[in-house]
Amino acid sequence: MNMWEFNKKYLLLPLILLFVTIGCKREEKQYVYSVNSVDVSQAGTEKPYVKTSSEYISIAYTDIFGENIPNKKLEELKMVYKSFGDVGVTEDLIIRNFLNDEAADLPDETFMQENPDEFVIEAYKKVFNRVPNELELWYLKDCIENDSALTPHVIYYALMTSNEYRQF
């Protein structure tokens, strides 16, 4: 057997088979899945504009006391904003002060305990100018029913210091 026959028999044929198998690949199917976009926002919750300090104080005062804020009081509270650097802390203190005032027009605790659904709906209408969605209603109602230490002041405080209340 000469060298050509040896190469042909033992080397060339396996190389040809190797190249043929490498070049042949099974075509894989590719599946493309897509998801349709869905709008899940609730009407009335999109509030892109932030209230100014004057607007925030005036609206909070009106929501809590049921009347417009006197100009002298508004000017005093605007000075608090200017003199204190942290706006969030300032608003927190103003809301607490308003809610702890005896003249605050809030439902009493008995009404809240006996009518939690109505209390939550009225609080949302008064504070956010909208009705709560089912999850918001269920959550606050559950909190009222399961926590005897919860008062209307605490719920109004939570709503009025939320990001949604800060915007309009």
> Which residues constitute the domain of residue 122?
53-166
Residue 88 inside a domain? The answer is yes
Residues 6+ apart with CB under 8 A from 160: 60, 63, 64, 95, 99, 127
> How far, in Å, CA of 128 to CA of 152, rounded?
16
Residue 23 inside a domain? The answer is no
Residue with tokens 């956010």: 128
Long-range contacts of residues 74-83, Cβ cutoff 8 Å, at least 24 apart: 78/53, 78/54, 81/53
Residue 44 inside a domain? The answer is no
Tally of domains in the chain: 1
Tens digit of pLDDT per residue, the chain (168 long)?
566 566 566 666 666 666 666 655 666 777 777 778 877 666 555 666 788 888 888 999 999 999 999 999 988 888 887 787 788 888 888 999 999 999 999 999 999 999 999 999 999 999 999 999 999 999 999 999 999 889 999 999 999 999 889 887
Residue 50 has φ and ψ, to the nearest 5°, of: -90, 140
CATH of the domain at 114: 1.10.3130
